[in-house]
Structure 1
Amino acid sequence: MSHSQNGHSSLKAASLKAASLKTASLKTALKATTVGGLAALMLSTGIAAPILHSFAAPVEVNAPQVPSFANVVDAVSPAVVSVRVQSNVQPASDDSSNFSFNFGGRGLDQLPDDHPLKRFFKEFGGPNQDRSDRGPNRHRDGKGPLRPVAQGSGFFISEDGYIVTNNHVVDDGSAYTIVMNDGTELDAKLVGRDPRTDLALLKVDVNRKFTYVQFADDSKIRVGDWVVAVGNPFGLGGTVTSGIISARGRDIGSGPYDDYLQIDAAVNRGNSGGPAFNLNGEVVGINTAIFSPSGGNVGIAFAIPASVAKDVIADLQKDGKVERGWLGVQIQPVSKDIAESLGLSEASGALVVSPQAGSPGDKAGIKQGDIITAVNGEPVKDARDLSRRIGGMAPNTKVEISLWRGGKSQPVTVTLGDLASDDASKATPAQNDDKGGQSSSEKVLSSLGLTVAPADDGNGLAITDVDPDSDAAARGLKTGEKITSVNNQQVASAADIEKILEQAKKDGRSKALFQIQTDDGSRFIALDIDQG
């Protein structure tokens, strides 16, 4: 080998050694630097960095995970059933339906007998075709077979076969069938129902023990707690959905005992009567209603709380009915304006519109215009609270009622009646809505925007005109209604009203309480007093 060749080989070896040293140096640097350092080294050396797989790793997030409901569902599913209801009540003829049929300008009767549509409606029912005269098993005597009229959900509350569901599920039923989660079908009988709370109790009489669930202590439930709903939506059978408690104490206008839990679990038609569970497998509520413009789930469902259901179901199981205490007074909420007009420091309690003649409240001396502020020393929040508390007491119970009357508090003792037997209907005084004609005594109460005249029957003052821009109009007063009292004092003339208003001003009040009479009953409205 020549000298030049030896020199070239030595130079090549030196270059390779230098490159090797640079690479080794780079690897050492990579182990001790950040990715930013790697970029800097690459730029300074001009050498491609080897791919280091130690930098690639799965993403890990240390966030709380949503719990699985599988264990809860496995435990409670055998206790949840589908409820099928049948009735032998004959539905009305289709003639009374809201549908009209037009086939190319002709009615059904005008179609030829061999027309396929006419044959279809003859076989399966349609206009002018009574439901009892349909299908291959027609009953010409009008006594048709039992027909499905409803389906819903329910759940066992005892091993001997008691089942809770909604009253609206079993209403009008003649026969009841429950379908268990394994497909077993069993006949059930109706033990009792309570329309006021929309609860019902069924019983299966077979020689076996059933898996059952218990009611939770819903006083411990908080908004935001998990709930699991199990039921029979659209007849699909055992279906599980989940959500949270969205709100408590909801009033949806279904009755005086409204106290619903609002949940956002998917609840649809057929879920009625089904349970909503907490994560301990206890029933916190009974799914009853949904808010839905379309009829499907929109995330707003309402459930009867366990505390309400527990007491009602216990009564149904014991006696087949629910007995409730009855006070016998028509009441309305106390608004801020009403409270101010009567000298109350806060808008709470229940305003007595009218005591029913002969009722326990009437006998105890409760009067129109009183505000019930407490029961047995416990403050009354509002009219709904009073209804629930009185209804939760047994008939013949003695209770102490605190009244706000004439600017001071006074107690009365009432022995409650039986709501079931007395059936306290809303008190509607007998006075007619009197239009009241013009008369020489008519006077404009300009400060209130009202024109009044003595009523023809001598009871109060008829409103003959309402200024559309007045406070009275804004609060719903209308021509033809009557003013029967102001600040709980009877009035028969415009002068009576003016006298009462002057006294209210002297007492430092800025509002006055007007009792308004219509065909539908009485109501109270607080109006601003013109301070001049």
Structure 2
Amino acid sequence: MSASEVSSSTTAKKGFFRRRKTQLLAGVMALGMAGALSVQTIIPNQLAFADPVQVQTTGPADFSPVVKAVQPAVVSVKVKQELEPKAMAFGNDAPDFFNDLPDGHPLKRFFRRFGEDGQGQGNGNGWQGKPQPHRYGMAQGSGFFITDDGYLVTNQHVVDKGTQFTVVTDDGTEYDAKLVGADKRTDLALLKVDANKKFTYVKFAEDAPVVGEWVLAIGNPFGLGGSVTAGIVSARGRDIGAGPYDDFIQIDAPINHGNSGGPAFNMKGEVIGINAAIYSPSGGNVGIAFAIPASTAEGVVKDLKDDGSVVRGWLGVQIQAVGKDIAESLGLEEPKGAIVAEAQDGSPAAKAGLKAGDTILAVDGTKIDGPRELSKLIAHYAPDTKVDVTVWRDGKTKDIEVTLGKLNDPDKVASAETGDQKTSLDDLGLALVPADQAGEDGDGVVVADIDPDGPAAEKGLRQGDRIVEANGMAVHEPADVSKALTTAEKDGRKAVLFRIEGENGSRFVALPVKAG
């Protein structure tokens, strides 16, 4: 090959490599534009990672369109309340400190003279204060119209003990209102304004709010009507101990005194909840507020509008949650359901055959996670409704048909030796005596002494509590407790379920077979 041919061949090869390099570079650039993570998936000997979470969304820059639309429907609620008189009484009904004073004591002479002067009523033995005149105070809250003819919703605690109700609309106009009805269990109330006009009103949201979505609160904090605050939905399903049907939405929109009864809106202008409570060590807003869900309020308000009250089904059982230890002692696969601590005498549950120790797992096929779910579910049924209650009893499920009643009363939803001595169960930190030896009527054994650092105390047992059942069997003497523990150990159980009678009624406690 000549020199010119070699040179030509070399030039061609260099051109080829330059073109190849350019093609590869263009390919890499194109891949880079498609996304660096895609490159990782095709380069040999490189680890491929899942895409990180990327969200391309922004919150509304301006809430004013929503506020402008819904604010005319939000009102301030003023409630005139009669205050209880604080009359002082001395004489036959006088407190001990007065009657125990010796005759001639300056304080006794003063009160007798005060009565004789006509400012009180002397009765020979002392003095009784003059009847006090009626005194009134004013409470303030918030509310919102749900119909154009003047029905509006607020909180029950806002109108409680009210004798006169005044509604102040966004334009400052005042209207007299009457109380249609109130429901203490859900803290909801319905008022009615009779006026010859159509009111702007809002509706309840059909869809439950999503944690993280925007929420607007409008109300009357500290008497400053028409105040608007914004935040997000922080959580759902909160139980704050306010009542048996707690299912609050937690929001962080600033809520203060006077916001009670006001609405919480989504960005569609729909009411997702009624502001009812705040959590605050200081009494002011700290970013934790609670609203009654629209799903709860809508049904209650409908009942109040229909007949001024809420009628609920009644099962008639005292229940408690099923923890892991209780589930283990019962042989349940998971700690769910509501265990019956007591079926009230004459209740629908007692008539149908439910008894202490039954664990309610479902009602009409709807699974029960815990006591709160059971209470809410039963409350949605009308009285006289027949329901199938699925219970766990003696290691298997059983269906029991119950005809619900009507809920009226707010307050209804080691070896042991016997003898005249304490029986000690050292592993549990308990000393037991028969109930009759403890001066109590009925069966069972009484906790005579308890180790404050022992397993029993850790589970909430206290001195004076009475153990009446162990794993569903009646307890008559301390030996029955030891027998239940021994039997459970032989069966491979880790705990024994005891039914306890105490100051607060019946409850179940699962105690370990062996400490530690």
TM range (shorter): 0.7 to 0.9
Q: 1: CA distance between counterparts of 2:380 and 2:57?
A: 45
Deviates more, 1:516-525 or 1:162-171: 516-525
470, 477, 498: which one aligns with 1:493: 477
1:347 maps to 335
Q: TM-score, normalised by structure 2?
A: 0.77
Shift of 1:94: 9.9
Shift of 1:423: 5.3
Is residue 2:199 matched to residue 1:205? Answer: no
Q: 1: CA distance between counterparts of 2:131 and 2:141?
A: 31
1:67 maps to 61
Supply the AA of the counterpart residue of 1:71. P
Deviates more, 1:479-488 or 1:294-303: 479-488
1:462 maps to 446
362, 373, 377: which one aligns with 1:389: 377
What does 1:463-482 align with in structure 2 at a 5 Å threshold? Answer: 463-482=447-466
Write the deviation string for residues 59-112 of structure 1: whole angstroms up to 9, x where unpaired.
xxx9846431100000001100000001344543699xxxxxxxxxxxxxx9xx
Could you say if the C-alpha distance between residues 143 and 452 of structure 1 is closer, same or farther in structure 2, counting changes exceeding 3 Å?
closer
Write the deviation string for residues 217-270 of structure 1: whole angstroms up to 9, x where unpaired.
243x21001000000000011000000000000001011000000000000000
Asked if structure 1 preserves the Cα contact closer than 8 Å seen for 2:167 and 2:174, the reply is yes
Shift of 1:498: 2.2
What does 1:281-430 align with in structure 2 at a 5 Å threshold? Answer: 281-420=269-408, 425=412
Q: 1: CA distance between counterparts of 2:187 and 2:442?
A: 44
What does 1:53-452 align with in structure 2 at a 5 Å threshold? Answer: 64=58, 66-92=60-86, 143-144=133-134, 147-219=136-208, 221-420=209-408, 425=412, 439-440=419-420, 442-452=422-432
Gaps of 5+ in 1: 1-61, 96-109, 111-128, 131-139, 427-437
Supply the AA of the counterpart residue of 2:278. I
Q: 2: CA distance between counterparts of 1:223 and 1:199?
A: 24
> Helix, strand or coil: the match of 1:308?
helix
1:58 maps to none
Asked if structure 2 preserves the Cα contact closer than 8 Å seen for 1:466 and 1:473, the reply is yes
1:102 maps to none
Asked if structure 1 preserves the Cα contact closer than 8 Å seen for 2:81 and 2:139, the reply is no
Asked if structure 1 preserves the Cα contact closer than 8 Å seen for 2:336 and 2:369, the reply is yes
Could you say if the C-alpha distance between residues 94 and 156 of structure 1 is closer, same or farther in structure 2, counting changes exceeding 3 Å?
farther
Q: TM-score, normalised by structure 1?
A: 0.75
> Helix, strand or coil: the match of 1:174?
strand
Could you say if the C-alpha distance between residues 93 and 181 of structure 1 is closer, same or farther in structure 2, counting changes exceeding 3 Å?
farther
Q: 2: CA distance between counterparts of 1:84 and 1:503?
A: 64
Which protein is bigger by CA-based radius of gyration? 1
Q: 1: CA distance between counterparts of 2:396 and 2:224?
A: 60
Supply the AA of the counterpart residue of 1:450. L
Q: 1: CA distance between counterparts of 2:476 and 2:445?
A: 6
Shift of 1:464: 1.6
CA RMSD between the two structures = 2.3
Is residue 2:440 matched to residue 1:453? Answer: no
Q: 2: CA distance between counterparts of 1:259 and 1:88?
A: 32
Q: 2: CA distance between counterparts of 1:497 and 1:182?
A: 70
> Helix, strand or coil: the match of 2:157?
helix
Q: 2: CA distance between counterparts of 1:81 and 1:73?
A: 13
Aligned residue pairs: how many? 416
Asked if structure 2 preserves the Cα contact closer than 8 Å seen for 1:228 and 1:242, the reply is yes
Asked if structure 2 preserves the Cα contact closer than 8 Å seen for 1:445 and 1:494, the reply is no
Write the deviation string for residues 10-48 of structure 1: whole angstroms up to 9, x where unpaired.
xxxxxxxxxxxxxxxxxxxxxxxxxxxxxxxxxxxxxxx
Is residue 2:501 matched to residue 1:517? Answer: yes
Q: 1: CA distance between counterparts of 2:198 and 2:405?
A: 40
Write the deviation string for residues 305-359 of structure 1: whole angstroms up to 9, x where unpaired.
0000000000000110000000000011111111111111111110101010000
Q: 2: CA distance between counterparts of 1:205 and 1:458?
A: 59
> Helix, strand or coil: the match of 2:336?
coil
> Helix, strand or coil: the match of 1:299?
coil
Deviates more, 1:453-462 or 1:351-360: 453-462
Asked if structure 1 preserves the Cα contact closer than 8 Å seen for 2:455 and 2:515, the reply is no
Could you say if the C-alpha distance between residues 355 and 86 of structure 1 is closer, same or farther in structure 2, counting changes exceeding 3 Å?
same
The share of aligned pairs that are identical, in percent, is: 57
Supply the AA of the counterpart residue of 1:326. W
Could you say if the C-alpha distance between residues 417 and 458 of structure 1 is closer, same or farther in structure 2, counting changes exceeding 3 Å?
closer
